């Protein structure tokens, strides 16, 4: 429920205040499953996952974003909402419309909240090659290195038969990272990274 999410989010935001907190909208599908929201597909990594789910179910996204916004009320720290599995600027625009709606609903309830920053996860090749456009329309970008590596190399890292082909410093992946960095810098848009790559010395 919105109240349950609010309680959890508030705990995190208070713990980090006055630092910013980045929260991802519901990110299920592929290798991320929920027992109470089963998704059965022949090819889940190329199917219904991430932002595709929440844009098809705006009621889920609105509840989550309202809970995030309310959890940020009265705190100095900034709320940053990150959108997973974005593959086109239109998905970003549609998401921003829903976030704006949630913000207006919270304001109408009499809760004083700041407008959140809205960011995009770069984790599919389509986003790499549209990074400049996404950087123009988003407040920040963050590379999702685990999924980006899988999609760039067409390798499921959880599949023992091909796991040795999963190389997060593969030349193609590094080139993609450089492309995203150049795009973000050109628009002066902050760029971060999520995933295991960022936690290794060679990745850093």
Residue 195's SS3 state is coil
How many Å apart are CA 149 and CA 151, to the nearest integer? Answer: 5
- Tokens 């996204």 map to which residue? 61
How many Å apart are CA 52 and CA 38, to the nearest integer? Answer: 15
At residue 42, the pLDDT reads 59
* Phi-psi map region of 30: left, alpha, beta (phi>0 left; psi -120 to 50 alpha): left
Taking only the tens place, the pLDDT of each residue in 108-131 is: 999 999 999 999 999 999 999 999
Cis peptide upstream of residue 18 (ω within 30 degrees of 0): yes
Task: Report the predicted TM-score, pTM, of the whole model to 2 decimal places.
Answer: 0.88
Taking only the tens place, the pLDDT of each residue in 34-65 is: 555 555 545 556 655 688 888 988 999 999 99
């Amino acid at each position: 429920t919105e109240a349950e999410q609010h309680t959890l989010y508030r705990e995190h935001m208070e713990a980090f205040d006055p630092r910013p907190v980045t929260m991802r909208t519901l990110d299920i599908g592929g290798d991320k499953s929920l027992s109470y929201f089963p998704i059965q597909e022949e090819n889940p990594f190329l199917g219904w996952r991430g932002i595709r789910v929440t844009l098809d179910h705006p009621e889920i996204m609105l509840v989550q974003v309202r809970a995030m916004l309310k959890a940020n009320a009265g705190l100095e720290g900034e709320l940053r909402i990150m959108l997973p599995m974005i593959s086109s600027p239109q998905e970003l625009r549609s998401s921003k419309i829903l976030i704006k709606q949630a913000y207006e609903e919270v304001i109408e309830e009499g809760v004083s909240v700041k407008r959140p920053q809205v960011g995009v996860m770069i984790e599919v090749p389509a986003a790499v090659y549209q990074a400049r456009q996404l950087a123009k329309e988003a407040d920040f970008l963050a590379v999702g290195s685990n999924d980006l590596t899988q999609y760039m190399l067409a390798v499921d890292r959880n599949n023992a038969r091909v796991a040795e082909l999963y190389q997060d410093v593969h030349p193609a992946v590094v080139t993609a990272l450089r492309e995203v960095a150049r795009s973000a810098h050109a628009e002066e848009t902050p760029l971060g990274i999520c995933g295991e790559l960022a936690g290794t010395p060679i990745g850093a």
